[in-house]
Amino acid sequence: MAFNRDIFPRLADRLTQKLLLDQLRLATAPWDPLTGAAQWPEVFVSFGSLAIVKRRVGGYDGRGQWRLHPGDEAALPQDCYGTCIVEQGIAFDGEVSLVGARSADGAQVFYPLTNNVHQDGILRASVAFPTPDSGLQRQAETMLGAILHELDYVGVMAMECFIVGDRLLINELAPRVHNSCHWTQNGASISQFELHLRAILGRLPLPAPVVSAPAVMVNVIGSEVNIDWLTDPLVHLHWYEKEVRAGRKVGHLNLCHPNGKALSRSLQQLMTLLPAAYEHGIRLARQILAD
């Protein structure tokens, strides 16, 4: 079982990941390797007034990332040159991710697109709906399908995208189960964890997971567990048993219900049991449910 051997290092480095997207002619935020400070005038001419610098390796939850406007360049640590890429800041209409799986015999299955709410670079909440036969879903499946096929990948992979008008731009790839799809633990016939195991072990069938009701996931970030969350029968708590630290993902709450309004009411109730920092994410999640 030598599958996936060279894929992880290739995708863990944003530079080689971007080269793969370019090679496959898949739309992604315009980018360049960041090699020296002399590049800046040209960067702002070609990308416009917002540039995003990202560490090639090791960044997560918005860490290892800088948002720069012209004149901010001096704030960038010197060791970024040679170890980062720079991207155009995208004025997106929304963020979605697609999680799919591929088996060793080349079969591919996908979940419905998940709508993601980020704040300061960290995922606060995700909202998914029963598979809509939408243009975006088809576009996303074609893009991720091409990547899975090109890499001869086996297992679950996530593709994060920006929505710009009716087009998707790939933000990044994650060759693993993904935070934005944790709702599948309670909102899909097969969770992403089971799907991954089925794909890599190759012993069980890999049918497309069925999603029959809207589902929401709220990340618990830097907060202690509160048993009162479970007063609402819709709330499933997944707790990671990690030390609680500011800004650290320590669990998540999943809710699903066939009636979007009932789901939204539960979210509103849940908000009263959470610190103020959750308000923005939950409000946007309720807005996505209402659209």
Ligand X SMILES: Nc1ncnc2c1ncn2[C@@H]1O[C@H](COP(=O)(O)OP(=O)(O)OP(=O)(O)O)[C@@H](O)[C@H]1O
Site for ligand X, rule CB under 6 A: 29, 52, 54, 59-62, 65, 87-90, 95, 118, 121, 123, 160, 171-172
Beta bridge partners of 97: 114, 160
Estimate to the nearest angstrom the gap between the alpha carbon of 231 and the chain centroid. Answer: 29
Among ligand X, Mg ion, none, what does residue 56 contact (CB within 5–8 Å per kind)? none
Q: Looking at beta carbons only, is 40 or 198 nearer to ligand X?
A: 40
Q: How far is the CB of 169 from Mg ion (least distance, A)?
A: 13
d(C-alpha 154, C-alpha 4), whole Å: 7
Q: Looking at beta carbons only, is 17 or 254 nearer to Mg ion?
A: 17
Q: How far is the CB of 1 from Mg ion (least distance, A)?
A: 28
Among ligand X, Mg ion, none, what does residue 94 contact (CB within 5–8 Å per kind)? none
d(C-alpha 129, C-alpha 290), whole Å: 12
User: H-type helices in the chain, by residue range?
Assistant: 7-12, 14-23, 40-47, 135-151, 184-187, 192-201, 260-271, 279-290
Among ligand X, Mg ion, none, what does residue 184 contact (CB within 5–8 Å per kind)? none
Among ligand X, Mg ion, none, what does residue 87 contact (CB within 5–8 Å per kind)? ligand X
Q: Looking at beta carbons only, is 183 or 263 nearer to ligand X?
A: 183
Q: Looking at beta carbons only, is 51 or 282 nearer to ligand X?
A: 51
Which residues, numbered 147-186, are part of the site for Mg ion (CB under 5 A)?
160
Q: How far is the CB of 28 from ligand X (least distance, A)?
A: 9
Is residue 199 within 8 Å of residue 154, measured between CB atoms? yes
Q: How far is the CB of 201 from ligand X (least distance, A)?
A: 26
Q: How far is the CB of 105 from ligand X (least distance, A)?
A: 30
Distances in whole angstroms, Cα of residue 272 to Cα of each of 196, 238, 263, 276: 35, 19, 15, 9
Q: How far is the CB of 27 from ligand X (least distance, A)?
A: 12
Residue 141 region, left (φ>0) first, then alpha (ψ -120 to 50), else beta?
A: alpha
Q: Looking at beta carbons only, is 161 or 199 nearer to ligand X?
A: 161
Which residue is nearest to Mg ion, using beta carbons?
160
Q: Looking at beta carbons only, is 62 or 130 nearer to ligand X?
A: 62
Q: Looking at beta carbons only, is 15 or 273 nearer to ligand X?
A: 15
Is residue 123 within 8 Å of residue 219, measured between CB atoms? yes
Q: How far is the CB of 161 from Mg ion (least distance, A)?
A: 10
Is residue 114 within 8 Å of residue 126, measured between CB atoms? yes
Q: Looking at beta carbons only, is 170 or 211 nearer to ligand X?
A: 170
Is residue 110 within 8 Å of residue 144, measured between CB atoms? yes
Among Mg ion, ligand X, none, what does residue 52 contact (CB within 5–8 Å per kind)? ligand X
d(C-alpha 47, C-alpha 45), whole Å: 6
DSSP of 254-285, one letter per residue?
EEE-S-HHHHHHHHHHHHTTS-GGGHHHHHHH
Token couple for 159: 């593709």
Among ligand X, Mg ion, none, what does residue 73 contact (CB within 5–8 Å per kind)? none
Place of tokens 């599958």: 3
Q: How far is the CB of 125 from ligand X (least distance, A)?
A: 13
Using CB under 5 A, list all residues that contact Mg ion: 160
